[in-house]
């Protein structure tokens, strides 16, 4: 494994419902200096989205690299097999591994912050 000083790090920021049409004027006015710094030291861009535009489905697609038919998260709720009715999707509803699961199995660390039903506390996240 590479020396810690030689390892490359990646920071992926996902901002639900963010729109550059609203963010750019704030950046230009100097109201978001930290975001401006991150953009100037890295990259930014527009992303295409999937339909329907449902956050749990989309974020799980980002986390897994799979479409909803493969990762199993299709919206905000799923049938509750125990109590009947419906319950919110959770990360345990996902049918495939997320990127951080794969990284952890390869001996690499990852930190995920504020990602709602996409994540659950795992051994790799206990280091936060």
Q: Are residues 111 and 65 in the same domain?
A: yes
Q: Quote the pLDDT of residue 128.
A: 36
Q: pTM of the entire structure?
A: 0.75
Q: Quote the pLDDT of residue 5.
A: 62
| pLDDT score of 67 more than 90 | yes
Q: Are residues 2 and 63 in the same domain?
A: no
| pLDDT score of 125 more than 50 | no
Number of domains in the chain: 2
Q: Are residues 14 and 68 in the same domain?
A: no
Secondary structure of 30-70 as H, E, C letters: CCCHHHHHHHHHCCCCCCCCCCCCCHHHHHHHHHHCCCHHH
Which residues partner with 77 through β-bridges? 88
Q: Are residues 34 and 57 in the same domain?
A: no
Average pLDDT over residues 33-46: 90
User: pLDDT tens digits, residue range 74-109?
Assistant: 999 999 989 999 999 877 889 999 998 999 999 998
Structure tokens at 110: 């990852």
Q: Are residues 113 and 52 in the same domain?
A: yes
């Amino acid at each position: 494994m590479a020396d810690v000083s030689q390892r490359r790090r990646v920071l992926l920021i996902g901002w639900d419902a963010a729109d550059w049409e609203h963010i750019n004027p704030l950046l230009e006015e100097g109201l978001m200096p930290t975001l401006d710094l991150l953009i100037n030291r890295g990259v930014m861009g527009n992303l295409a989205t999937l339909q329907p535009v449902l956050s749990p489905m989309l974020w799980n697609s980002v986390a897994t690299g799979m479409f909803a038919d493969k990762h199993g998260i299709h919206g905000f709720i799923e049938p509750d097999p125990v109590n009947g009715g419906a319950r919110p999707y959770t990360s345990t509803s996902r049918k495939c591994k997320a990127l951080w699961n794969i990284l952890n199995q390869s001996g690499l660390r990852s930190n995920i912050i504020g990602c709602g039903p996409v994540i659950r506390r795992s051994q790799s996240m206990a280091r936060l």
